[in-house]
Amino acid sequence: MVAEKNGITDKPLDFYSFLLGYTYGATYVKGAGMFAPYSDPEPGFILAGKFLGIERKYQITDNKDLLIDNIKYFLSKDIPVRIAWNSAMTMKYAIESEYFPRPKEWKEPPKEAFSPHSVLFVGYDSSSFYYYETHGKDFSLRGEKGIRIDKSSAIDAISSFSRNYRLPWKYMMTVFVKDSISNDLNKIFERNGEEMIGRVMGPTATGSFAIKGLSQGVKKEGSSIFNSPKKEYFKRTIETLMEIRLDNSVYLEQEFSTNSEIQRVSELLKKSSNNYRSIITILEKEKNNKNDVISICRLLELSAEFEEEAGNIFILASNLGNES
C-alpha cells in the first residue's frame, strides 16, 4: 500500500516479502507453545524502504495527544500512517464495517487476548480514524474511505501492543518519506540468509532453529497433537509454511534465473515446502498414531536443515556480489 502511494504499482507481493525478509524466517517461543511462520517485519522496513525510495520514520511517545496530533498531521499531508496495534481489540470494527464477514456465533475476544498486527491509517474526522486492513481482501489507496474506528479505541489498541511487548514507550507510529533509492541486493541476500538460519535467544528461536523448536514441541506433545482443535491449528500453521516457502521458491527462481546460487536457494525452499506438504498429508489421515509423530518430527528437522543451508547460500551469494 505504501509502495503504491509512492508510485510503485507493478510489483508482486512476493517482491515485498523478499525485501522485508518477512516470509524468509520463523519464530518459536519455547514453553509458550507459540510458533509464527514469519520473521518480525519491523526491522525489515529499514532495509526494504531503501529499495523503494522511501525511508522509515518510527516515532514514539508517552503522550496520547501528541500521538493523535502527529497522526492527523501526516494524514493531512496525504501521507498514510502505519500503525501497529492489538487487533484482538479492533476486529469488531472490521466486522461491523462488513470488511470481514461476521463468523457464525462470533464473540469479542477476552480482554487479555493479544494479536499483534499492522494496519494503515488513511483518514480522520473529529471523532474517528479510518484505516485499511493489511490482510483479507485488498483495498486500493485510492477511492476507499476505509474502516472506521473511534480514536479512543485506536489509542487503547496501540498501547496494548506496547504493553504486551513490554516496550519502553506507550505509543508508536510509522511513516515513510521520500528518500534515495538503493539497488544493492547483496544486503537483502545477507539479511534474508540470516533470517533463514536464525538464532536462539533465551526461550525464543528464529529461522531454522524455530523449525527445530517446533519439531521438539511436537515430540513433547506426542499423539495429543492430533486432538482437535490442536490438530487443526497445527495443520493451518504447516499449510502457511508450505505456501510461503513455495511462493518464495517460485519468486527466486523467476527473478534470479541467471544466478546459480539463488537458484539453489529456490530448490531448497521447494524441497522444504514439499516436506510441509507431506506433513499435511499425514494430518489429513482419519486416524494418527505415534509413528506419525515420528514422521512429522523427521520432516520438520529435514526442512530446518534445508532452510539453514538456504540461508548459508544467501550469505555466500551476498559475499560473492560484494567481491565482484
Residues 129, 78 within the same domain: yes
Residues 157, 82 within the same domain: yes
Whole-number percent of the chain with pLDDT over 70: 96
Beta strands in the chain (DSSP E): 27-29, 34-36, 54-61, 81-86, 116-124, 128-132, 147-150, 171-178, 200-201, 204-206
219 assigned to some structural domain: yes
Angle CA 214–216–220, to nearest 5: 115
Strands 54-61 and 116-124, how do they pair?
A: unpaired
Bridge partners (DSSP) of residue 136 are: none
pLDDT given at position 106: 80
Residues 211, 114 within the same domain: no
Residues 162, 211 within the same domain: no
Residues 211, 168 within the same domain: no
Strand order of the β-sheet with 34-36 is: 34-36, 27-29, 204-206, 200-201
Q: Are 80 and 120 in contact (CB under 8 A)?
A: yes
The span from the first CA to the last CA of the chain, in angstroms, equals: 35
CA 59, CA 321: separation in Å to the nearest integer?
34
Residues 168, 220 within the same domain: no
**Could you tell me how far CA 213 lies from the centroid of its own chain?**
19
What band does 324 get if pLDDT is binned at 50, 70 and 90?
very low
Select the more confidently predicted residue: 108 or 120. Answer: 120
pLDDT given at position 239: 97
Mind listing the pLDDT tens digit for each residue in 236-286?
Answer: 999 999 999 999 999 999 999 999 999 999 999 999 999 999 999 999 998
CA 22, CA 161: separation in Å to the nearest integer?
19
pLDDT given at position 211: 97
Domain residues for 229? 202-323
Residue 321 has pLDDT above 70, yes or no: no
Mind listing the pLDDT tens digit for each residue in 55-100?
Answer: 999 999 999 999 999 999 999 999 999 999 999 999 999 888 888 7
221 assigned to some structural domain: yes
Question: Residue 131 has what DSSP assignment?
Answer: E
How many folded domains does the chain comprise? 2
223 assigned to some structural domain: yes
Residues 226, 259 within the same domain: yes
- Cis peptide preceding 41, ω within 30 of 0: no
Mind listing the pLDDT tens digit for each residue in 179-228?
Answer: 999 888 999 999 999 999 999 999 999 999 999 999 999 999 999 999 87
Residues 90, 154 within the same domain: yes
96 assigned to some structural domain: yes
Mean pLDDT of 25-30: 92
Mean pLDDT of 143-150: 84
Residues 210, 165 within the same domain: no
CA distances from 116 to 150, 157, 163, 212 (A): 19, 10, 11, 24
pLDDT given at position 40: 85
Which triple of cell numbers denotes residue 151? 480514536
Which triple of cell numbers denotes residue 265? 536457494
237 assigned to some structural domain: yes
Residues 144, 252 within the same domain: no
- What does pLDDT average to over the chain? 92
Query: Whole-model pTM?
Result: 0.87
Query: What SS3 class is residue 148?
Result: strand
